[in-house]
């Protein structure tokens, strides 16, 4: 008689029983009988084959990693546990600063409420079949790194304006090395400046994003500018360009004016002045010479911010 391991004789194993504690991996066991009886036919037979799949004894362990490894304040971080010899359904206990924050079969834990210096580790309970020692394993400890986001403070010099007027957006932060971005950029003089002029045509909420260059962390704030469509336009009916500092220039006055054209004619129909700029007034001169005192006729065409147009004419008395 002879025991066979993987179809090869096992030295010294010729009895009816065979035992071993050193088998590993996969193996086949069978039993061979050789007969010396005169009538035996055949003289050698082999038993059925037993296929073995041997699970090794092992000590469970668990490793955790975080992604990302550094975050800005308020951003989420995910901790993932990777078991070794955890079995088919290991149990994971996530602990934050020694306090259990999650327990179950999930091997990940996520939070956006972590603080700089927080400590996270995992205790794993394994159901591996052949455990050597304890079925409980503790992971490495991760120290969370959280960078405080910069503050962002958005204010405005005047929060309510008439259509056509401008206001100033003002940004501030506690970061000493920061980038600024205002959105939307429409009707802004500079969308990446800390302070910029804004001339919105409709009421607008502006988003300020401040990015700390060193950490890449951001802070945000909003400020609103309210726009009204108030409109009025007029031209003084008289002025006196005598250089006394009083009513020396004639201007188009008003608010909510998107555009205009003013033309002034003398009594013979000759144009003596024209402008499309509110800041440009008539000083009573034509071709660098003072015009005579008298009555002049003006024609005014204008456009409002609501898209409507208008025009008017009238007389101006010039006295010296």
174-197 pLDDT, tens per residue? 999 999 999 999 999 999 999 999
Q: Look at residue 39 in the predicted model and tell me its pLDDT.
A: 83
Q: What's the CATH code of the domain at 197?
A: 2.60.40.1080
Q: What's the CATH code of the domain at 275?
A: 2.60.40.2550
* Residues 111 and 163 occupy one common structural domain: no
Domain boundary among 204, 228, 252: 228
* Residues 70 and 141 occupy one common structural domain: yes
Q: What is the pLDDT of residues 26-58, one digit of tens each?
A: 999 999 998 888 787 888 899 999 999 887 889
Q: Look at residue 188 in the predicted model and tell me its pLDDT.
A: 97
Q: What is the pLDDT of residues 79-103, one digit of tens each?
A: 999 999 999 999 999 999 999 999 9
* Residues 22 and 79 occupy one common structural domain: no
Q: What's the CATH code of the domain at 94?
A: 2.60.40.10
- 250 pLDDT higher than 90: yes
* Lookup: tokens for 235: 């031209």
Q: Look at residue 273 in the predicted model and tell me its pLDDT.
A: 98
Residue 292 belongs to domain spanning: 232-318
Instruction: From residue 217, give the alpha-carbon distance in Å to each of 74, 75, 151, 210.
Output: 10, 10, 10, 8
Q: Look at residue 24 in the predicted model and tell me its pLDDT.
A: 82
- Say if CB 230 and CB 238 are below 8 A apart: no
* Residues 307 and 241 occupy one common structural domain: yes
Domain boundary among 130, 147, 164: 147
Q: Determine the distance from the C-alpha atom of residue 73 to the mean position of all C-alpha atoms in its chain, rounded to a whole number.
A: 12
User: What's the structural domain count of the chain?
Assistant: 4
* Residues 101 and 28 occupy one common structural domain: no
Q: What is the pLDDT of residues 258-302, one digit of tens each?
A: 899 999 999 999 999 999 999 999 999 999 999 999 999 999 999
* Residues 138 and 68 occupy one common structural domain: yes
Distance, in Å, from the CA atom of 218 to the CA atom of 209, rounded to the nearest integer, reads: 7
Domain boundary among 34, 54, 74: 54
- Say if CB 20 and CB 11 are below 8 A apart: no
Q: Look at residue 230 in the predicted model and tell me its pLDDT.
A: 84
* Local confidence band at 22 (pLDDT 50, 70, 90 cut-offs): confident
* Residues 288 and 307 occupy one common structural domain: yes
DSSP string, 78-121: EEEEEEES--SS-EEEEEETTEEEEEES--EEEES---TT-EEE
% of the chain at pLDDT higher than 90: 76
């Amino acid at each position: 008689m002879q025991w066979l391991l993987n179809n090869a004789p096992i030295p010294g194993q010729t009895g009816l029983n065979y035992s071993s504690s050193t088998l590993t991996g996969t193996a086949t066991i069978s039993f061979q009988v050789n007969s010396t009886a005169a009538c035996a036919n055949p003289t050698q037979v082999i038993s059925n084959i037993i296929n073995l799949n041997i699970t090794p004894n092992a000590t469970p362990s668990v490793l955790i990693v975080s992604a990302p490894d550094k975050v800005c304040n308020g951003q989420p971080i995910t901790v993932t546990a990777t078991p070794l010899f955890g079995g088919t359904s290991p149990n994971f206990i996530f602990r934050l600063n020694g306090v259990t924050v999650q327990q179950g079969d999930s091997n990940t834990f996520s939070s956006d409420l972590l603080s700089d210096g927080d400590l996270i580790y995992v205790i794993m309970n394994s159901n591996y079949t052949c455990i050597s020692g304890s079925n409980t394993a503790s992971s490495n400890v991760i120290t969370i790194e959280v960078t405080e986001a910069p503050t962002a403070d958005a204010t405005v010099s005047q929060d309510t304006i008439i259509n056509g007027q401008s206001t100033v957006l003002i940004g501030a932060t506690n970061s000493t090395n920061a980038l600024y971005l205002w959105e939307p950029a429409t009707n802004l003089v500079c969308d990446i400046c800390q302070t910029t002029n804004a001339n919105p045509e409709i009421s607008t909420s502006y988003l300020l994003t401040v990015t700390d260059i060193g950490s890449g962390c951001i802070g945000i704030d909003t400020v609103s500018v309210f726009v009204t469509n108030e409109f009025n336009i007029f031209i003084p009916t008289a002025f006196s360009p005598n250089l006394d500092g009083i009513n020396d220039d004639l201007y188009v006055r008003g608010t909510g004016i998107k555009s205009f054209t003013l033309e002034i004619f003398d009594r013979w129909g000759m144009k003596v002045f024209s402008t499309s700029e509110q800041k440009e007034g008539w000083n009573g001169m034509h071709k660098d010479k003072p015009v005579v005192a008298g009555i002049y006729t003006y024609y005014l065409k204008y456009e409002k911010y609501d898209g409507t147009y208008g025009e008017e004419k009238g007389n101006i008395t010039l006295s010296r």
